[in-house]
């Protein structure tokens, strides 16, 4: 079982890296302390704040930053996020999409992580005009 488990873990690790292609940044010392204070004051994870800083740096250098997080969401995450952005509670979303509350919670948690925020309220505040237009179009397509 040990050999099988090691092969499975390695396959999963490779797949995960290819899927997310994340940038690994290490920040130490005073800079990290300041970023942690900033993240706490905004109620956001440190990774989200660092992502915003990297995004701004790429824009300033004229490079194309990564696409909106909306484009990285699965169809079901989009459904859940669209209803959440309209102010629906988890229970209401679950009833409307015929899902369990735990499934809705799971979809929301992944969407929050992709947007780099820690709460639904922070997510609503972070949605930009492009995302809101995408959400509106998504809701219209469903009707």
Spatial distance between the Cα atoms of 40 and 37, rounded to a whole number of angstroms: 5
Whether pLDDT at 16 is above 80:
no
Spatial distance between the Cα atoms of 24 and 40, rounded to a whole number of angstroms: 21
Spatial distance between the Cα atoms of 74 and 90, rounded to a whole number of angstroms: 18
CB 80, CB 111: distance < 8 Å: yes
pLDDT reported for residue 38: 85
Residue 83: HSE in the Cβ half-sphere, 13 Å Cα cutoff:
20
For residue range 52-89, list pLDDT tens digits in order: 777 777 666 665 555 567 778 888 998 898 888 888 89
Whether pLDDT at 96 is above 80:
yes
- pTM for the model: 0.51
pLDDT reported for residue 127: 76
Spatial distance between the Cα atoms of 116 and 126, rounded to a whole number of angstroms: 9
Give the percent of the chain with pLDDT over 90.
15
Q: In terms of pLDDT, which residue wins out, 80 or 120?
A: 80
- What single DSSP character describes residue 116? T
- What single DSSP character describes residue 68? P
Whether pLDDT at 40 is above 80:
yes
Cα dihedral across residues 25, 131, 81, 87: positive or negative: positive
């Amino acid at each position: 079982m040990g050999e099988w488990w090691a092969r499975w873990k390695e396959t999963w690790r490779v797949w995960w890296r290819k899927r997310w292609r994340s940038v690994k940044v290490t920040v130490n010392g005073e800079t990290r302390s300041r970023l942690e204070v900033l993240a706490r004051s905004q109620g956001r994870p440190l990774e989200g704040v660092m992502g915003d800083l990297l995004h701004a740096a790429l824009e300033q250098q004229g490079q194309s930053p990564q696409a909106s997080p909306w484009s990285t969401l699965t169809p079901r995450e989009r459904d859940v996020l669209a209803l959440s952005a309209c102010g629906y509670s988890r229970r209401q979303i679950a009833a409307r999409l015929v899902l369990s509350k735990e499934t809705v919670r799971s979809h929301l948690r992944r969407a929050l992580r992709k947007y780099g925020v820690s709460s639904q309220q922070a997510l609503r505040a972070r949605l930009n005009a492009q995302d809101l237009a995408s959400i509106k179009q998504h809701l219209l397509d469903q009707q």
